[in-house]
C-alpha cells in the first residue's frame, strides 16, 4: 500500500520505517529539512535500537521523507503522528493535530479513490471525531464515503520500539466504518497479534488507560517499597512473591526513583485534566503523580541522612536519561535530583553513556564526565538514577570516592554497600 506518515518525530520515524519493512511504499512528511535529508540518506535522526539498519535497507527505496504533503494525493492511508505536548494545565496541546489535519484535508481534495486517515498520536477521547474529521472534511470539501477515519494508538517503548512494533501484544484499531478498520488491519498483515476493533473514542481511551495503569503499578510498587524500607523488608522479594499471581503479573513492579519519559507523566496528567473537565475528582490518578514526584526527593533525603548537609559536597549522578538505552531526558528523574542538589549547594559530577549532550543544554554548569569512574572520582556521595547495564558491573570504581556512600534509585548494582531508595 501507499502510506504517508505526517510527522517525522519518534513515533512517525519508527512507524514509517516499520511499515516500509512490511513492504509498503512509505513517505514520511516532516517540516524539518534536516530530518528529511537524514532519513533519505539512511541516517536515523533519533537513537533507537535496530533503526539504523532498517533505514539503510529501505531509505530511497520504499521509504522516503519529504517536506511536501504531495504524496497524500495518491496515498491509500495517511497516518498522523504529530506531537501532543502537555500545556501548563496538564491538558495536551492539540494544535499540531489540527494543523496537520487541515493540511491532509487540502491534499485529499478531489480524490477519485478511497483513502483512510489514521490518527496515531496520543489524543484525548473525541479528538479524531471532533477535531480531525471536521478539519479534514472541511478542506477536502466532501462529507461522503471517499474518506475513512481510524485511530490506531502506538504502544512502543523507547529503546525497544522496533521490537515492540514488529511483535506487539495487540493492535488496536478504532474506526468510523468497517471499511476503514479493515484497511488499517491489512497494513499490519505479516504481524502476528490479536487485532481489536473499537470505536474511535475507545481506541483513544485505550492508550491513556494503558499508560495510566502502568504508571499506577509503578507508583504502587514505590509506595509499598517506601513502607517496606521502614520495616526492613526487601520490596523486590515482596513483588516477586506478588507478581506470580496472574491477576497481578510480574511486570512494572520495580520500585525505585519513579517513572520518567515523554508519556506516563503527560498521559496521566491529561487523564486527570479530562476527569476534572467532566466533574470527577481523580484521586487515584493524582496520587500516582504525587508518589512519582516524591521519589527523587527521597533519594536526596537518604543521602543527607548519611552525609549531613550536602552543601559543598561532590555528588556523582550516574544515569541522566529517563531510562537505559536512550538519550531522552524528558521527565527524567535525574532532572529534579540535579535541580535539588544544586539548590542545596552540592557540586554535581554527572555521567550517562548517551544522554550527556541533552543534559548539558539543561544544566550547563555541572561537571560532565566521560565515564562512571570519572564522575565517582573524589565524590562524597553517589546517586544511581538509571538502569544502564554497565552500572551493574561497577564496584571498584566506587573506591575512587572520598567516601563510599551510594544511594541506588534502580535495583541494578551487584556490589555490596549501596543503600536502595526503597529496599
Ligand atoms: C511507555 C509505555 O511502556 C509504552 O507502552 C508506551 O507506548 C509509551 O510509554 C508511550 O506512550 O509512547 P516508555 O515511556 O518508552 O514507554 O518507557 P517504559 O519502558 O515504559 O519506562 C517508563 C519509565 O518507568 C522509566 O523511567 C522506567 O525506569 C520506569 N519504570 C518502569 C519503573 O520505574 N519501574 C518499572 O517497573 C518499570
* Rg, C-alpha atoms of the chain: 23
List C-alpha distances in Å: 419 to 107, 234, 300, 384.
59, 12, 12, 10
Would residue 221 count as lying in a domain?
Answer: no
Mean pLDDT of the 253-264 span? 97
pLDDT tens sequence across 232-251: 999 999 999 999 999 999 99
User: How many angstroms separate the alpha carbon of residue 207 from the centre of ligand 1?
Assistant: 13
- The yes-or-no verdict on residue 177 having pLDDT over 70 is yes
Is the residue at 216 inside a domain?
A: no
Closest residue (by CA) to atom 29 of ligand 1? 259
So what's the pLDDT on residue 143?
A: 57
Whether residues 234 and 150 fall in one domain: no
Strand order of the β-sheet with 367-368 is: 367-368, 347-351, 314-318, 381-384, 406-408, 418-420
- Confidence grade of residue 112 (pLDDT, cut at 50, 70, 90): confident
How many Å lie between the centroid of ligand 1 and the Cα of residue 263?
8
Residues 387 and 304 in one domain: yes
CATH number at residue 89: 3.40.50.720
Q: Same domain for 119 and 11? A: yes
Please determine, for residue 145, whether its predicted confidence score (pLDDT) is greater than 80: no
Domain endpoint, select from 177, 198, 219: 198
The whole-angstrom separation of Cα 159 and Cα 149 is 30
Q: Based on the structure, what is the number of domains in the chain?
A: 2
Identify the pLDDT of residue 302: 97
Between CA 413 and CA 388 the distance in angstroms is: 10
* Whether 131 contacts 96, CB under 8 Å: no
157 C-alpha to ligand 1 centroid (Å):
6
| Residue 186: partners with Cβ closer than 8 Å, 6 or more residues away | 1
Mutate to test the pocket of ligand 1, among 168, 259, 296 (most ligand atoms within 8 A of CB): 259
Report how far ligand 1's centroid is from the alpha carbon of 266 (Å).
Answer: 12
Coarse DSSP helix, strand, coil percentages of the chain, rounded to the nearest 5 percent: 45, 15, 40
What cell was used for 376? 565517582
Listed residues 174, 198, 222: the one ending a domain: 198
- Write out pLDDT tens, residues 356-398: 999 999 999 999 999 999 999 999 999 999 999 999 999 999 9
Q: Measuring from atom 37 of ligand 1, which residue has the nearest CA?
A: 252
**DSSP annotation string for 334-370:** HHHHHHHHHHTTPEEEEE-SS-HHHHHHH-TTSEE-S
User: Which residues does residue 117 pair with via DSSP β-bridges, in sequence order?
Assistant: 78, 149
Mean pLDDT of 392-407: 97
The overall average pLDDT reported for the chain is: 96
Is residue 194 located within the same domain as residue 295? no
Looking at the predicted structure, is the pLDDT value of residue 142 above 80? Answer: no
Q: With a 6 A CB cut-off, is 163 part of the ligand 1 pocket?
A: no
Cell 536515523 found at: 44
Of 218, 238, 291, 320, the residue with max ligand 1 atoms within 8 A of its CB, to mutate for a pocket test, comes to 218
pLDDT tens track for 59-85:
999 999 999 999 999 999 999 999 999
Q: Determine if ligand 1 sits within 6 Å of the CB of residue 243.
A: no
Same domain, 145 and 279: no
Evaluate whether residue 363 is within a structural domain: yes
pLDDT tens digit string along 185-218? Answer: 999 999 999 999 999 999 999 999 999 999 999 9
Cα–ligand 1 centroid distance for 332 (angstroms):
11
| Structural domain contains residue 217 | no
Q: Which of 198, 213, 239 is the last residue of a domain?
A: 198
Give the span between the Cα atoms of 378 and 349, in whole angstroms. Answer: 10
Same domain, 178 and 274: no
Ligand 1 nearest-atom number relative to CA 218: 34
For ligand 1, whether the C-beta of 322 sits within 6 Å is yes
Kindly state whether residue 207 falls inside one of the protein's structural domains.
no
Judge if 58 and 166 occupy the same domain.
Answer: yes
Angle, in degrees to the nearest 10, between helices 200-231 and 235-243? 140
Q: Look-up: residue for cell 496537520? A: 100
DSSP 59: B
Q: Same domain, yes or no, for 177 and 306? A: no
Q: Across residues 27-48, what is the average pLDDT?
A: 95
List, in sequence order, the alpha helices (H) in 82-157: 95-107, 127, 133-140
CA–centroid distance, 221 to ligand 1, in Å, is 14
Torsion of CA 65, 267, 122, 334, to 10 degrees: 10
Which residues fall within 8 angstroms of residue 115, CB to CB, at 6 or more apart? Answer: 72, 75, 76, 77, 78, 108, 146, 147, 148
Closest residue to atom 13 of ligand 1, CA basis: 157
Examine the domain organization and report whether 354 and 407 are in the same domain. yes
Q: Within this chain, do residues 159 and 53 fall inside the same structural domain, yes or no?
A: yes
Closest by CA position to 327, among listed 48, 98, 135: 48
Indicate which residue's Cα is closest to atom 24 of ligand 1: 259
Mean pLDDT of 152-167: 96
Q: Please tell me whether residues 282 and 186 are part of one structural domain.
A: no
Same domain for 174 and 316, yes or no, is: no
Residues designated as active site: 263
| Residue 343, domain member (yes or no) | yes
> Percent of the chain, pLDDT > 70?
99
pLDDT value of position 110: 79
Residue 203 lies in a domain: no
- Give CA angle at 177 (174, 183), nearest 5°: 75
What is the residue with the minimal CA distance to atom 5 of ligand 1? 155
Indicate which atom in ligand 1 lies nearest the CA of residue 387: 28
Q: Of 318, 300, 411, 299, whose CA–CA distance to 373 is shortest?
A: 318
The protein residue with its alpha carbon nearest to ligand 1, atom 10, reads 263
Strand residue runs (E) in 194-299: 195-198
Domain that holds residue 366: 230-423
The answer to whether position 222 is within a domain reads no
* Cβ 367 vs Cβ 379: under 8 Å: no
Amino acid at each position: 500500500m501507499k502510506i504517508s506518515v505526517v510527522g517525522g518525530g519518534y513515533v512517525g520515524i519508527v512507524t514509517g520505517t516499520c511499515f516500509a519493512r512490511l513492504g509498503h511504499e512509505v513517505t514520511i512528511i516532516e517540516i524539518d529539512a534536516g530530518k528529511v535529508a537524514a532519513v533519505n540518506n539512511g541516517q536515523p535522526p533519533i537513537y533507537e535500537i535496530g533503526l539504523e539498519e532498517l533505514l539503510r535497507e529501505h531509505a530511497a527505496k520504499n521509504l522516503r521523507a519529504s517536506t511536501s504533503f504531495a504524496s497524500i494525493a495518491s496515498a491509500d492511508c495517511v497516518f498522523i503522528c504529530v506531537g501532543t505536548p502537555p500545556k501548563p494545565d496538564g491538558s495536551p496541546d492539540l494544535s499540531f493535530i489540527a494543523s496537520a489535519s487541515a493540511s491532509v484535508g487540502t491534499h485529499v481534495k478531489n480524490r477519485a479513490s478511497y483513502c483512510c486517515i489514521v490518527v496515531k498520536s496520543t489524543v484525548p477521547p473525541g479528538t479524531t471525531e471532533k477535531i480531525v474529521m471536521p478539519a479534514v472534511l472541511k478542506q477536502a470539501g466532501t462529507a461522503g464515503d471517499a474518506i475513512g477515519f481510524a485511530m490506531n494508538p502506538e504502544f512502543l517503548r523507547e529503546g525497544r520500539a522496533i521490537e515492540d512494533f514488529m511483535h506487539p501484544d495487540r493492535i488496536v484499531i478504532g474506526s468510523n466504518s468497517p471499511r476503514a478498520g479493515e484497511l488499517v488491519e491489512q497494513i499490519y498483515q505479516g504481524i502476528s497479534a490479536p487485532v481489536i476493533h473499537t470505536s474511535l473514542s475507545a481506541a483513544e481511551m485505550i492508550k491513556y488507560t494503558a499508560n495510566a495503569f502502568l504508571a499506577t503499578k509503578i507508583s504502587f510498587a514505590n509506595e509499598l517499597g517506601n513502607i517496606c524500607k521502614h520495616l526492613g523488608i526487601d520490596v523486590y522479594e515482596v513483588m516477586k512473591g506478588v507478581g506470580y499471581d496472574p491477576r497481578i503479573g510480574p511486570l512494572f513492579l520495580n520500585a525505585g526513583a519513579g517513572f520518567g519519559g515523554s508519556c506516563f507523566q503527560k498521559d496521566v496528567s491529561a487523564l486527570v485534566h479530562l476527569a476534572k473537565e467532566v466533574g470527577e475528582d481523580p484521586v487515584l490518578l493524582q496520587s500516582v503523580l504525587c508518589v512519582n514526584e516524591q521519589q527523587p526527593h527521597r533519594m536526596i533525603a537518604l543521602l543527607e541522612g548519611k552525609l549531613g548537609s550536602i552543601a559543598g559536597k561532590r555528588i556523582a549522578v550516574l544515569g541522566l536519561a529517563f531510562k537505559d538505552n536512550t538519550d531522552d531526558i524528558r521527565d527524567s528523574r535525574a532532572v529534579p535530583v540535579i535541580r535539588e542538589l544544586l539548590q542545596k549547594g552540592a557540586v554535581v559530577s554527572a555521567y550517562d553513556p548517551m544522554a550527556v549532550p541533552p543534559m548539558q543544554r539543561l544544566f550547563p554548569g555541572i561537571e560532565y564526565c566521560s565515564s562512571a569512574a570519572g564522575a565517582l572520582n573524589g565524590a562524597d556521595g553517589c546517586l544511581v538514577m538509571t538502569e544502564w547495564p554497565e552500572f551493574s558491573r561497577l564496584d571498584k570504581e566506587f573506591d575512587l570516592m572520598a567516601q563510599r556512600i551510594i544511594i541506588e534509585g534502580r535495583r541494578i548494582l551487584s556490589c555490596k554497600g549501596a543503600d536502595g531508595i526503597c529496599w
